[in-house]
Amino acid sequence: MSSSKSGIVKVIEITGASNGPLSGLQFAAKDLFDIEGYVTGAGNPDWAKTHAPAKKTAPAVQVLIDAGATLVGKTLTDELAYSIDGINVHYGTPLNPQYNDRIPGGSSSGSAAIVAHKLVDFAIGTDTGGSIRTPANHCGIYGFRPTHNRVSVENTVPLAPSFDTVGWVARDANILKKCGSLFLNEIDSPNRPMELLVAADAIDALEPKLRPAILSTIEKIKPYFPVVGHVELAKLGWDHYLTNYRIIQGYEAWQTHGEWIKASKPTFAKAIQERFDIAEKITEEEYIEACAFRKNIIANFEDLLSPETVLCMPTTWNLPPLKTASEIELQNNRTQSMKFTCIAPLAGIPEVTIPIKYSGDKSIGFSMLAKKGEDMLLLDVCQDLTLLLD
């Protein structure tokens, strides 16, 4: 298989430490992470041309190498991570090994594809508005977005700093948790999950043909939780989440990259150029207003979730779009999916996505979210529930 189809854009081999918790494992890193001596490409040739080789390896990469994992290369990303499609007009689109005729999801498309192709044990990427969870959902693997600011994003190309996180994907829950224990410096959560909250209106918003898989999963995992309840996300302002998310993301993306865009005049894919054009026009007043709305979201989820509560919902709203999908279809998919994936970044809370059986050997993503800081609770639950879902 060619490198581009498998998700690799640059082969870089750095052998891990001789012993450590990740000894014997191989991983790849999204091409947003600095590797000393190499140019970080960020999915765009003009970015690569205008940036010098990195002087320091990103801490999120170095900690894995120090723990014994061997880096095998850098993986494809959507341009500057400003998409959840996984389509890159410059370098190609990684093959989705689960749905060959459909897109892999992004922006950590290469990281998800190389894991799903079984070429590495795990991979790291970034997640701003769904960039780990979406490709994990599409490619049939596990994905984790931690609590905001739990994992260092130093020496990583940013997009929207108040949402940016380092995330990781794996084919099994055990490796997912091993990575979490390392990044979070915890072995197990001190808390026991006592309550499962089902996001009822998120399930109602799901494509109908996917609902049986989600509902069946919920029935299987109910016995694990002493208490099971339901919540209506609409009562927490869900109808307005995406609008405010896009204002904050767009404003911060332009503040982060606007000067470089104006100076370098890079060639972007049409859809990504349009996103930056919109971002440039977002005013500071709009941003401040959206941030005030976000404070209410954070407060709402602080009240909703105890340290022993898990909220569950679909990861995205539908199967990944076909490769032949029009830009209008892709845009509609982004809008519908990000209604789901914008919740965790807005609230600053962790989310894990688990592949569950949909049809035959095909899967879709099932998400669980927890209170801010309860990352290990989710990883523990994920590991336990894998046995129930086999």
State the catalytic residues: 30, 107, 131
Which distant-in-sequence residues (6+ apart) come within 8 Å of 108 by Cβ?
A: 30, 75, 77, 81, 123, 125, 126, 127, 131, 132, 135, 167, 169
CA distances from 366 to 127, 140, 217, 315 (A): 17, 10, 8, 5
Which distant-in-sequence residues (6+ apart) come within 8 Å of 263 by Cβ?
A: none
The values of phi and psi at residue 80, to 5°, are 50, 20
For 122, the enclosing helix (H) or strand (E) is: strand 122-127
**Residues listed for the chain:** 390
Kindly give the interhelix angle for 173-184 and 375-389, rounded to the nearest 10 degrees: 170
Q: What is the rounded CA–CA span in Å between residue 12 and residue 9?
A: 10
CA nearest to 239, candidates 205, 281, 209: 205
| 3-state SS assignment for residue 304 | helix
Dihedral, 179, 302, 347, 213 alpha carbons, nearest 10: 70
Contact 43, 81 (CB under 8 A): yes
The DSSP result for 42-108, as a single string, is TT-HHHHHTSPPPSS--HHHHHHHHTTPEEEEEE--SGGG--SS---TTT-----SSSTTB---SSS
One-letter amino acid of 185: N
Contact 125, 137 (CB under 8 A): no
Q: What is the rounded CA–CA span in Å between residue 45 and residue 11?
A: 17
